[in-house]
Structure 1
């Protein structure tokens, strides 16, 4: 079970926001672009160590990401390209936000002398890279499964399958942890959590597929 499985409930809570945007005439793809722009803004703010402002930008990016699908349904503008573009934009946001933290040069492992001083920056950036890899692979598993087993079942414009609830740490958890870390001043803790949990979650999904796919 993960927060992704609760996505429909979050979308329902944001229905008034979707209704507002639907009335403005803005398209779902334009909202996706705005979500991406907010993600890029977050990365730039994180890179310059404005972690509180960066987290606010990341919150806005996440809200817009949840709302774009609602606007598409309300205005009956759901498209296959929109679903694909939304997924691609999400991965861009995840990657550049974590990269922004890496560029900031904050101490992670070296903060508590867990590695020799001369290894500090390379070791810390390695943790960021592991967080990026875990975030990407944890998601990449799903389209590979869809392609290999030919799964294309959809619900409300989204591919819906049993793998959706598998893996204890997905994109929503990653965003929440990064936001909390930025707002609290413990962004370095967030990176460690994301690096460890996303990769463990990916392994969990692989083991699930090993047991269930013939």
Structure 2
């Protein structure tokens, strides 16, 4: 797998206010629970890169003390020091040259750039396809000029019809793309930069002029992938909003999409900086559902309903924290699904017990409770079976008119909550039974159609 150089030597003058009177180097500024450089490392790791060279300069020891050897993230980190870092990022890149063999290609990333993992994965696939091509260097380019944030500040490129970059710089007027801060070089190109740096061309855009003149810099178009250059304090706020907005899941039901998710994202933005793992929030969610079920069983339906809906909102926090901090694990997903199944059963059981023992012996609640308990777990099971049948994820949005009904877990918890709040637990049980079984029947019919075709 290709290695990566991360340029982290600059002073980040425009960020010094955000850094607390300059006490933190820019790469260590926190963004939703992770310093910028940790986010860069973990993004690259998710794309399969585990070997890094970090080039340091300004307050370099603080960066080394934080990142150490990278073992806590499951990666390997070496360091290259650039004492001439004020002269520009081309010299910083040259400082990494001794770490690479003559024929070894490597990525160059910026510590202060946010990149979507899919961007890096697609870039690596593109580089594999171009492995035997003539180009010696590659650059990720965004052609969506109308949506580029602060276009006037961006490094611009002119790409010809063959995908070769002919011009590169902040001040060019004839451009059709923007540099995303993600390169691929060979050491041969890097060695060529040395003479450019000696001429005083410290900026990487300037130092690449000979490479541009030969047509050796090829563009990789990033498509709809997200990236952002975090250059000043306002960019941090934009980055937070963008990263949070990307957490919405295609699995969200109608209640989660329009009610739970907006609230859980606000909560996550506050909780993500705490040291707790996603499984902690899954466990908290389960305990809240247990408490809600006890309140229902004791006849305190209003309080039980409020707590059940609160738990439904918090149910999104574990996944959001996991995605923001790159802490997603197979066990975490499994643990969350087990907690959800127990929670559903507890809430239905607690509501039923309350109707029978605390509200005048309504034994008729047993029948809808049985139907709801039988069908509720099948929501997840049917999705997993559909995934096995089709080989792809199954999303509620694919269910047409059914996707607008409260048939998924978020909808079922909303029914439980409203039933408790308005003292309509018996009706809520029948709605749960109806919605859960309607969804199972719908998916059964759909699965038959898929298998028949």
Q: Smaller-chain TM-score range?
A: 0.7 to 0.9
Out of 348, 354, 362, the position equivalent to 1:98 is 348
- C-alpha distance in structure 1 between counterparts of 2:354 and 2:343, whole Å: 17
- C-alpha distance in structure 2 between counterparts of 1:208 and 1:82, whole Å: 30
Mind listing any 5+ residue stretches in structure 2 that lack a counterpart?
1-250
The equivalences for 1:6-85 within 5 A come to 7=256, 10-11=260-261, 13-85=263-335
Q: Which residue is 2:370 aligned to?
A: 129
Residue pair 1:51, 1:185 contacting (<8 A) in 2 also: yes
Bigger helix share:
1
Bigger strand share:
2
C-alpha distance after superposition, 1:8-52 (max 9, x if no partner): 665355323112111111110000000000010011111111111
- C-alpha distance in structure 2 between counterparts of 1:142 and 1:212, whole Å: 13
- C-alpha distance in structure 1 between counterparts of 2:422 and 2:410, whole Å: 18
CA shift, 1:85, in A, is 1.3
Q: In structure 1, the residue corresponding to 2:273 is in which secondary structure?
A: helix
C-alpha distance after superposition, 1:98-122 (max 9, x if no partner): 0111222349xxx9xxxxx9xx62x
Out of 370, 383, 386, the position equivalent to 1:142 is 383
- C-alpha distance in structure 1 between counterparts of 2:353 and 2:255, whole Å: 33
Q: In structure 2, the residue corresponding to 1:23 is in which secondary structure?
A: coil
Q: Assess, with a 3 A threshold, how the Cα gap between structure 1 residues 189 and 8 changes in structure 2: closer, same or farther.
A: closer
**Which range moved further: 189-198 or 28-37?**
189-198
Q: How many residues align?
A: 194
- C-alpha distance in structure 1 between counterparts of 2:283 and 2:371, whole Å: 27
- C-alpha distance in structure 2 between counterparts of 1:6 and 1:64, whole Å: 13
User: Which gives a bigger RCO, structure 1 or 2 (Cα 8 Å, sep 6+)?
Assistant: 1
C-alpha distance after superposition, 1:179-201 (max 9, x if no partner): 11110111111111111221112
CA shift, 1:60, in A, is 2.1
- C-alpha distance in structure 1 between counterparts of 2:256 and 2:433, whole Å: 23
C-alpha distance after superposition, 1:54-96 (max 9, x if no partner): 1121122112111111111122111111111111111111111
CA shift, 1:140, in A, is 1.9
Residue pair 2:253, 2:396 contacting (<8 A) in 1 also: no
Query: CA-atom RMSD, angstroms?
Result: 2.5
Q: Kindly indicate whether residue 253 of structure 2 is the aligned counterpart of residue 4 of structure 1.
A: yes
Q: Assess, with a 3 A threshold, how the Cα gap between structure 1 residues 209 and 59 changes in structure 2: closer, same or farther.
A: same
Q: Assess, with a 3 A threshold, how the Cα gap between structure 1 residues 13 and 46 changes in structure 2: closer, same or farther.
A: closer
Q: In structure 2, the residue corresponding to 1:63 is in which secondary structure?
A: helix
**Which range moved further: 13-22 or 34-43?**
13-22
Larger radius of gyration: 2
- C-alpha distance in structure 2 between counterparts of 1:25 and 1:194, whole Å: 37
Runs (4 or more) in structure 1 with deviation over 6 Å come to: none
Q: Kindly indicate whether residue 434 of structure 2 is the aligned counterpart of residue 196 of structure 1.
A: yes
